[in-house]
Structure 1
Amino acid sequence: MDNVEVPDYFICPISLQIMKDPVTAATGITYDRESIEHWLLMRHNTICPVTKQPLPRDSGLTPNHNLLRLIQSWRRSTGNSPGAAAQMDKRKTQETSLNQSHIDKLIRGIGNPDSQLKSLQKLEALAIENEPRRKQLVEFGVHNAALHFIMQCHRGKNTNASGLPEALHVLYLIRNSSNGLKLSQMEDVIGEIIEAFSWVLGCDGETLNKTHAIFAMKMVVRKAKSAQLRMLKPEFFQKLVDYVKQRGNKQGINAALQVMLDSSPWGRNRIMLVEAGAPFELIELELKSPEKKTTELILGILFHLCSCADGRAQFLSHAAGVAMVSRRILKVSPAADDRAMLILSLISKFSGTNGVLLEMLRVGAAAKLCLVIQSNRESHLKDKAREILRTHSNAWKASPECLNLPTLTSDDVC
Structure 2
Amino acid sequence: MVLSWTRRNIFRLVKKEKRQTQGGGFGGELEVEVVIPNHFQCPVSLELMTDPVALSTGITYDRVSIEKWIEGGNKTCPVTNQVLTTFDSIPNHAIRRMIQDWCVENNSYGIERIPTPRIPLSNYEISQTCTRILAACQRGDDKKCQELVGKIKVWGRESERNKRCIIGNHASTNPGVGAVLTNAFDCFSSGDSFDKHVAVLEEILEVLTWMTPLEEESVPKLSSKASLNCMVWFLEGKDLASRQSAALLLRQVRVQELAKVGKVVEALVNMIREPIGSTSTKACLATIFNLVSSTENRGEIAQRFVELGLVSLLLEAIVDGEKGVCEKALGVLDCICDTQKGKEVVNNNALTLPLVIKKLLRVSPLASSFAVSILRKNCDKNEEGVLIDAVHVGAFQKLLVLLQVGCDESTKENATELLKLLNGYRNKAECTDSSLDFKYLKKSF
Identity of aligned residues (%): 18
Pick the aligned partner of 1:98 from 116, 119, 125: 125
Q: Residue deviations 1:138-189, cap 9 Å, x none?
A: 6153223332145236x41428723232121021122235xx35236538x5
In structure 1, stretches of 5+ residues that fail to align are: 12-16, 20-68, 78-83, 409-414
Residue in 2 that maps onto 1:175? 212
Pick the aligned partner of 2:419 from 358, 372, 389: 389
Contact 2:318 2:325 in 1 (8 A): yes
Residue in 2 that maps onto 1:152? 190
Q: 2:224 aligned with 1:190, yes or no?
A: yes
Pick the aligned partner of 2:340 from 294, 309, 312: 309
Q: 2:376 aligned with 1:341, yes or no?
A: no
Pick the aligned partner of 2:199 from 162, 169, 175: 162
User: How do 1:213-252 and structure 2 match up within 5 A?
Assistant: 213-220=246-253, 224=254, 226=256, 228=257, 230-233=259-262, 235-252=263-280
Pick the aligned partner of 1:108 from 127, 132, 135: 135
Residue in 2 that maps onto 1:280? 312
Residue in 2 that maps onto 1:258? 286
Q: Residue deviations 1:346-385, cap 9 Å, x none?
A: 01028x6333223323322233223324434445534422
Q: 1:240 to 1:230 in 2, by over 3 A?
A: closer
Q: 2:156 aligned with 1:124, yes or no?
A: no
CA shift for structure 1 position 209: 0.7
Mapped to 2, the partners of 1:76 and 1:131 lie a distance apart of: 35
1:279 partner SS: helix
Q: 1:119 to 1:75 in 2, by over 3 A?
A: farther
Contact 1:143 1:181 in 2 (8 A): no
Q: Residue deviations 1:3-60, cap 9 Å, x none?
A: 9799xxx77xxxxx989xxxxxxxxxxxxxxxxxxxxxxxxxxxxxxxxxxxxxxxxx
Mapped to 2, the partners of 1:384 and 1:284 lie a distance apart of: 25
2:275 partner SS: coil
Q: 2:296 aligned with 1:267, yes or no?
A: no
Contact 1:286 1:298 in 2 (8 A): yes
Q: 1:184 to 1:211 in 2, by over 3 A?
A: closer
1:203 partner SS: coil
The TM-score, its normalising length taken from structure 2, stands at 0.63
Q: 1:380 to 1:216 in 2, by over 3 A?
A: closer
Amino acid at match of 2:151: K
CA shift for structure 1 position 208: 1.0
Q: 1:95 to 1:191 in 2, by over 3 A?
A: closer
Residue in 1 that maps onto 2:22? none
CA shift for structure 1 position 388: 1.5
Amino acid at match of 1:151: S
CA shift for structure 1 position 310: 1.5
Mapped to 2, the partners of 1:91 and 1:125 lie a distance apart of: 14
2:233 partner SS: helix
Q: 1:255 to 1:91 in 2, by over 3 A?
A: same
Across the two proteins, how many residue pairs are aligned to each other?
328
TM-align CA RMSD: 3.8
Mapped to 2, the partners of 1:299 and 1:159 lie a distance apart of: 40
User: How do 1:288-367 and structure 2 match up within 5 A?
Assistant: 288-289=320-321, 291-349=322-380, 353-367=383-397
Q: 1:157 to 1:232 in 2, by over 3 A?
A: closer
CA shift for structure 1 position 213: 0.7
Amino acid at match of 1:245: R
Larger radius of gyration: 2
Mapped to 2, the partners of 1:383 and 1:319 lie a distance apart of: 26
Q: 1:124 to 1:331 in 2, by over 3 A?
A: same
Mapped to 1, the partners of 2:385 and 2:414 lie a distance apart of: 21
1:397 partner SS: coil
Q: 1:160 to 1:100 in 2, by over 3 A?
A: closer
Contact 1:230 1:268 in 2 (8 A): no
Mapped to 2, the partners of 1:207 and 1:232 lie a distance apart of: 21
Mapped to 2, the partners of 1:240 and 1:330 lie a distance apart of: 29
CA shift for structure 1 position 279: 1.7
2:334 partner SS: helix
Mapped to 1, the partners of 2:432 and 2:41 lie a distance apart of: 81
The TM-score, its normalising length taken from structure 1, stands at 0.67
CA shift for structure 1 position 396: 3.6
Moved more, 362-371 or 340-349: 362-371
In structure 2, stretches of 5+ residues that fail to align are: 1-36, 43-49, 52-61, 65-98, 108-113, 439-445
Residue in 1 that maps onto 2:23? none
Mapped to 2, the partners of 1:75 and 1:404 lie a distance apart of: 77
Mapped to 1, the partners of 2:335 and 2:211 lie a distance apart of: 31
Mapped to 2, the partners of 1:274 and 1:72 lie a distance apart of: 70
Q: 1:76 to 1:313 in 2, by over 3 A?
A: farther
